[in-house]
Structure 1
Amino acid sequence: MIIALLGLQLGSLIAPAYACGCGAMIPDRNQRIGVDRETSAVRWDGRTEQIVMRFSVRGNAERAAWIMPVPARADVTLGDPELFDALEDLTGPEYRTRHYFWPRSRDWPFDLTTTDGAAAEPPSAGAPDVGVVGRERLGPFDVARLTATDPKALSGWLEENGFELSDRLSAELTPYVERKWEYVAVRLAPEPTDTAADTGTSGATGDTGTSGTNPAPALSGDLTPLRITFASTELVYPMRLSRLAKNPQSLGLYVLADHRMEPRDDIGGSRPEVTFAGGIKGTEDETLAALTGGRPVFLTALDQEFPEPSRIDGDHELRAVADTPYREVVHTDRLLTVGNGIPVWILTVSGVLLAAAGTVGAVVAVRRARARTEVRSAV
Structure 2
Amino acid sequence: MTRRFFAGSAAAALVAAVLTAVGLASPAAACACGAPTPPGGISVSVGEERAIVTFDGAVERIDLVLDMLADGADTGLVIPTPTPATVSLGERSLFEALERQTAPRVEYVEDWWGGMGDGSAGGAPEVLSEVDLGPISAVTLAASDAAGLQAWLDQNGYGIDPAVQALFADYIARGWSFAAFKLTGEEPLDGALDPVRLEFPATDVVYPLLLSQAAQTPQTVRLYLFGDDGMQATFPDGTVAGEVVWAGRVTQAGLTRLGAYLTVIEAYFFDPATQITGDLTITSTGARDDFTPVETRVKYVDIGGVPLGYAIAGVASVFGLMLLIVVVGAIVHARSEKRRRRAY
TM-score (norm 2): 0.70
How has the CA–CA distance of structure 1 residues 61 and 245 changed in structure 2, closer, same or farther, with 3 Å as cutoff?
farther
Does residue 133 of structure 2 align to residue 138 of structure 1? Answer: yes
Point out where structure 1 has 5 or more consecutive residues left out of the alignment: 1-12, 112-119, 121-127, 193-215, 358-379
What is the deviation of 1:265?
5.1
Does residue 194 of structure 2 align to residue 184 of structure 1? Answer: no
Query: 1:113-166: per-residue Cα shift (whole Å, max 9, x none)?
Result: xxxxxxx9xxxxxxx862222112113201112222322221232123122444
Is the 8 Å Cα contact of residues 79 and 178 (structure 2) preserved in structure 1? Answer: yes
Does residue 72 of structure 2 align to residue 78 of structure 1? Answer: no
What is the deviation of 1:175?
1.8
| Residue 174 of structure 1: aligned partner | 169
What is the CA–CA distance in structure 1 between the aligned matches of 2:248 and 2:143, rounded to whole Å? 39
Q: Secondary structure at the match of 1:159?
A: helix
What is the CA–CA distance in structure 2 between the aligned matches of 1:154 and 1:29, rounded to whole Å? 17
The share of aligned pairs that are identical, in percent, is 29
Does residue 295 of structure 2 align to residue 300 of structure 1? Answer: no
Q: Secondary structure at the match of 1:27?
A: coil
Which of 201, 205, 212 is the aligned partner of 1:235?
Answer: 205
Does residue 244 of structure 2 align to residue 274 of structure 1? Answer: yes
- Which amino acid is 1:304 matched to? A
| Residue 246 of structure 1: aligned partner | 216
Is the 8 Å Cα contact of residues 236 and 318 (structure 1) preserved in structure 2? Answer: yes
Q: Map 1:21-32 to 2 at 5 A.
A: 21-32=32-43
Is the 8 Å Cα contact of residues 34 and 58 (structure 1) preserved in structure 2? Answer: yes
What is the CA–CA distance in structure 2 between the aligned matches of 1:298 and 1:256, rounded to whole Å? 6
Query: 1:162-195: per-residue Cα shift (whole Å, max 9, x none)?
Result: 2244432221112222222222222x22422xxx
Q: Map 1:4-19 to 2 at 5 A.
A: 15-19=26-30
- Which amino acid is 2:288 matched to? D
Is the 8 Å Cα contact of residues 252 and 302 (structure 1) preserved in structure 2? Answer: yes
What is the CA–CA distance in structure 2 between the aligned matches of 1:33 and 1:295, rounded to whole Å? 33
| Residue 20 of structure 2: aligned partner | none
| Residue 53 of structure 2: aligned partner | 42
- Which amino acid is 2:220 matched to? S
Which of 259, 269, 277 is the aligned partner of 1:313?
Answer: 277
- Which amino acid is 1:24 matched to? A
Q: Secondary structure at the match of 2:148?
A: helix
Point out where structure 2 has 5 or more consecutive residues left out of the alignment: 1-23, 118-122, 324-344
Pairwise CA RMSD of aligned residues? Answer: 3.8
What is the deviation of 1:223?
5.8
Which of 262, 281, 297 is the aligned partner of 2:232?
Answer: 262
What is the CA–CA distance in structure 1 between the aligned matches of 2:92 and 2:74, rounded to whole Å? 20
Q: Secondary structure at the match of 1:234?
A: coil
What is the CA–CA distance in structure 2 between the aligned matches of 1:342 and 1:166, rounded to whole Å? 57
Query: 1:214-263: per-residue Cα shift (whole Å, max 9, x none)?
Result: xx32x788564211112222221111111112222232222222322112
Is the 8 Å Cα contact of residues 20 and 34 (structure 1) preserved in structure 2? Answer: no
How many residue pairs were aligned?
288
What is the CA–CA distance in structure 2 between the aligned matches of 1:328 and 1:33, rounded to whole Å? 33
- Which amino acid is 1:276 matched to? W
What is the CA–CA distance in structure 1 between the aligned matches of 2:44 and 2:204, rounded to whole Å? 32
Does residue 78 of structure 2 align to residue 67 of structure 1? Answer: yes
Is the 8 Å Cα contact of residues 257 and 297 (structure 1) preserved in structure 2? Answer: yes
Is the 8 Å Cα contact of residues 236 and 281 (structure 2) preserved in structure 1? Answer: no
Which of 288, 291, 294 is the aligned partner of 1:323?
Answer: 288
How has the CA–CA distance of structure 1 residues 300 and 99 changed in structure 2, closer, same or farther, with 3 Å as cutoff?
same
What is the deviation of 1:296?
4.4
What is the deviation of 1:95?
0.8
Larger radius of gyration: 1
What is the deviation of 1:39?
1.4
| Residue 149 of structure 1: aligned partner | 144
| Residue 339 of structure 2: aligned partner | none
What is the CA–CA distance in structure 2 between the aligned matches of 1:83 and 1:139, rounded to whole Å? 20
TM-score (norm 1): 0.64
